[in-house]
Structure 1
Amino acid sequence: MGAKEVPRALQELAQGLEEGLVPAGILNDPEVFAWEQERIFARSWIYLGHASEIPSPGDYVLRYILNNAFILVRGEDGRVRALLDMCRHRGMRVCRAEAGNASHFRCPFHGWTYRNDGRLIGVPAEREAFGQDLNKEEWGLVPIPRLEAFDGMIFGNLDPGAPSLEEWLGDIRWYLELVTKRSPQGLEVLGPPQRWVVNTDWKLALETFLSDSYHTLMTHRSLIELGIAPKDAKYAMYGEQIHIPGKGHGSMVVGAPPGAKLPPFWGYPEEMLERARTSYPTREQFETARETRILLVTLFPNFSFHNPIRKPDHKYQGAVPMLTFRVWHPLGPGRIEIFSWALVEKDAPEWFKEKTRLSYLRFFGSSGTFEQDDTEIWSHVANNAATPQGRHLRFNYRMGLKLEPDPNWPGPGVAYGLNFTDANMRNFHRRYLEMLLA
């Protein structure tokens, strides 16, 4: 791909981004998506799963980077691997379930059999078919080029020359740790991920988890009318928006707006707050966490988490937090599959785990009230962006364009003292362009 072949929409993005102008044409465009596959998803660290999903030897789940399927498996030796789900003989998938426990994987085509560490150990009629010429050590399942973890979060990278995960994350680790270090026991998943397909663009979906608190006032108006979400604009704009320059990552950290009757530390029980005092790496992280009621983090390119405080049901008098991890998995131009996990601290009381599970299901699960609102909007935007007229329009990402950073924010990154700004998305698109045009 030469410079003259750069898609028109990407050229327009490069020309207008610093003025806060983003072309609709970067959404739902086959040519742009082809560039994204080759230059972003083939070179980025992609979230595959959590260590608590595969706690025992033989446990596995199937996970995806683009259309590559990987068996994320804990071997008999306890080591976690990601193996390309493709038989070395004729290319058939050897894993036929999305999750389970297996010591071996056998291809249903010709029966080649592999241990859960990827080694080829069985070939039907080996001597009759191959004589003495088949060296099974050379024909094992192919491991992902790079596999690394951060606090139980497992990431894969298709580029063997990619920087380390630690370097890729950079200072966003401080914000990840607000969740991963909240308890000395760490997190655990509450069941398998929910999955559903939406006709939209992956970049559009993650905006809500990166910078767009502005949409709450209208998109979720029905919830405002029911008293589930605050109706005053000052509540939607309240909080801190932070991005990590050069990385594309960002976070929104929201405390209790003045006058709001919300408990500290996301509403966790007092016993968990006390454990967090010694669990967090720094005092600044503990103090920030104690004042936080809603936390969102997005890692470039397509992982997000959302940790709000919600009322789990009409009978419960208080409010509890819920935590969802998200992967915005692209299936093609204008089409994604959402992988959504619910997580909670391992050492949380059992009654609390049940309340946070219900809160997740009712608000941000596949049939959750907030989820229904968002996906409806995303689908229409992506459709408009692919029309002959719509694709040439430019979107307004100028909110907070002249806003000065907050010098008093205790964490790393560039912080702004309110959430009504597009600063995080402009930072995201700078990194997006850097990877596409390098």
Structure 2
Amino acid sequence: MGNIIKTLDVTDSLTGLKDVCDLENGRIAGKIFYDQEIYEQELEKVFARCWLFVAHESQIPKTGDYITTSMGEDEVIVIRQKSGGIKVFLNACPHRGNKVCFAESGSTRGFICNYHGWSFNVEGNLVGQHESGVYEDSNFDKSKWGLKEVAQVDSYKGLVFATFDANAPSLKEYLGPIAWYMDALFDNQEGGTEFVGGCIRSTYECNWKIAAENFVGDILHAGWTHDSAARAMLGGSVAKVSDFEESYSVNWNGHGYEFALDTVGNVAVLGESALNKYLHTIKPSVAERLGDFRSNMIGSVSSCTIFPNFSFLPGQNTVRVWQPRGPNKMELFTWVVVNKSAPEEVKEKWRKGAMMTFSPTGVFEMDDGENWEYCTKTAKGRVTAQQDLFVGLGMDTLLTDTPLPANVYEGQLNEANSRAFYQYWYDMLNSRSWNEVPDRNVGKQEAE
């Protein structure tokens, strides 16, 4: 049967990291976006230990349905089992390590390696080989040579996550109170959500952290970077985030969600009045399901990153994973998420809206990509890499008397979530085990 990866060898902490990451004083250095040693430590201590998004359940509804993706730089297969459960295997034959599945998605009864004909069923068991008779005289035990399984797989509201680390906390613990906010997109209607269309894949010459941090709480760039595109989509002026009467930045263990309570600000820039109408139509039922507060979040000006590299945009309804491909390169996987119960014409408008805005040729994506690439490229300079970069906006805006869960900060124009993201990144790189990761949370686990 498939062998589960149970242990991970973790090296000592990086030396000198404090010199390039000082969150107490709102400072990081460009070196963290280009240093090869730091990147190698990220693969080991972040991507090989944290829970990573690998699929949506709607992508693999039937036995044998699968997709291929990555966990860090490790390629994996996510496949539906006969039992209805989901397994995640390394996409590597245990004979010589050749890739066993080259398709991005499909349905199968098993996988066969091109090199020596080793074949595996959907449970990951080794069931045959080319010239199988030669193995019989070598005391060969098939049960020990199945596809390697990741240590843990779990899902939340249709989102499937996996981790290589058997000692990682449960997914519920890992998400913590941020899950309460995630429900505004992924659980606002009976029946949940689904992905529509295929996966949009693109490559950028930038560090993965630049993009992840952009979504964790950097609404500050939107009114400048995306101003002309937003005006074109809306046909006129764009509201200033600073004009919103109520907005927040919330974080927990590196996860961050920034949002206003304007209901449809994000969806409006898709230029589809039918989507605005749809959100206003379902808002009363969302209020019954999730309460008035979260019913105002469903399509609002907002964004979220679940540490380390899973992000989404409510309203624009794009879900994205920033896959590391080196310190100065990443591959972006993007999907469109919709309510299963939404009318088909609404789903199609969301799909087309995503193509127009957040795709390789989208009016917003091109803006971001250029900025992210130059943030990374300038960090390559020997002197520039040591330059202090400011992340100190909103240092004294923590709300201590709010009924909301997690660490809650006043306003979206705030770098509290960015600091929390980099602090957790720093803590993971300086910890040999999960028990050593400091608890820096001051907020509540549950909403009042």
Tell me the TM-score normalised to structure 2 length: 0.86
Partner-residue secondary structure (3-state), 2:215: coil
In the alignment, does 2:302 pair up with 1:302?
A: no
Give the partner amino acid of 1:365. S
Contact 1:241 1:250 in 2 (8 A): no
Give the aligned partner of residue 419 of structure 1.
412
Contact 1:267 1:293 in 2 (8 A): no
In the alignment, does 2:330 pair up with 1:324?
A: no
In the alignment, does 2:353 pair up with 1:359?
A: yes
The offset of 1:354, in angstroms, is 1.1
Partner-residue secondary structure (3-state), 2:177: helix
Give the aligned partner of residue 120 of structure 2.
114
User: CA separation in 2, counterparts of 1:406 and 1:287?
Assistant: 23
In terms of mean alpha carbon deviation, does 84-93 or 223-232 score higher? 223-232
Q: Percent sequence identity over matched residues? A: 30
Give the aligned partner of residue 134 of structure 1.
140
- Residues matched between the structures, number: 416
1:33-77 CA distance string (max 9 Å, x none): 111111111110010010000111111100111221111011233
Partner-residue secondary structure (3-state), 1:338: strand
Partner-residue secondary structure (3-state), 1:130: helix
Structure 2: 5+ residue stretches without partners: 1-10, 432-448
User: CA separation in 2, counterparts of 1:400 and 1:143?
Assistant: 43
In the alignment, does 2:365 pair up with 1:396?
A: no
Shift of the 146–231 alpha-carbon distance from structure 1 to 2, 3 Å rule, reads: same
In the alignment, does 2:444 pair up with 1:434?
A: no
The offset of 1:358, in angstroms, is 1.2
The offset of 1:130, in angstroms, is 3.1
Give the partner amino acid of 1:307. P
Give the aligned partner of residue 208 of structure 1.
214
User: CA separation in 2, counterparts of 1:104 and 1:406?
Assistant: 54
Contact 1:211 1:419 in 2 (8 A): yes
Contact 1:304 1:326 in 2 (8 A): yes
Give the partner amino acid of 1:413. A
User: CA separation in 2, counterparts of 1:354 and 1:23?
Assistant: 43
In the alignment, does 2:248 pair up with 1:255?
A: no
User: CA separation in 2, counterparts of 1:226 and 1:378?
Assistant: 22
In the alignment, does 2:65 pair up with 1:59?
A: yes
Shift of the 236–305 alpha-carbon distance from structure 1 to 2, 3 Å rule, reads: farther
Give the partner amino acid of 2:167. G
Counterpart mapping for 1:145-294 below 5 A? 145-226=151-232, 228=234, 234-235=240-241, 238=244, 240-245=247-252, 247-256=253-262, 267-269=277-279, 272-278=282-288, 280=289, 282-283=290-291, 286-289=294-297, 293-294=300-301
Partner-residue secondary structure (3-state), 1:12: helix
Q: RMSD in angstroms over aligned alpha carbons?
A: 2.7
Give the aligned partner of residue 311 of structure 1.
none
The offset of 1:240, in angstroms, is 2.2
User: CA separation in 1, counterparts of 2:211 and 2:266?
Assistant: 29
Tell me the TM-score normalised to structure 1 length: 0.88
Partner-residue secondary structure (3-state), 2:319: strand
Shift of the 128–430 alpha-carbon distance from structure 1 to 2, 3 Å rule, reads: closer
Partner-residue secondary structure (3-state), 1:174: helix
Give the partner amino acid of 2:409. Y
Give the aligned partner of residue 378 of structure 1.
372
In the alignment, which of 71, 90, 94 is matched to residue 96 of structure 2?
90
User: CA separation in 2, counterparts of 1:266 and 1:293?
Assistant: 11
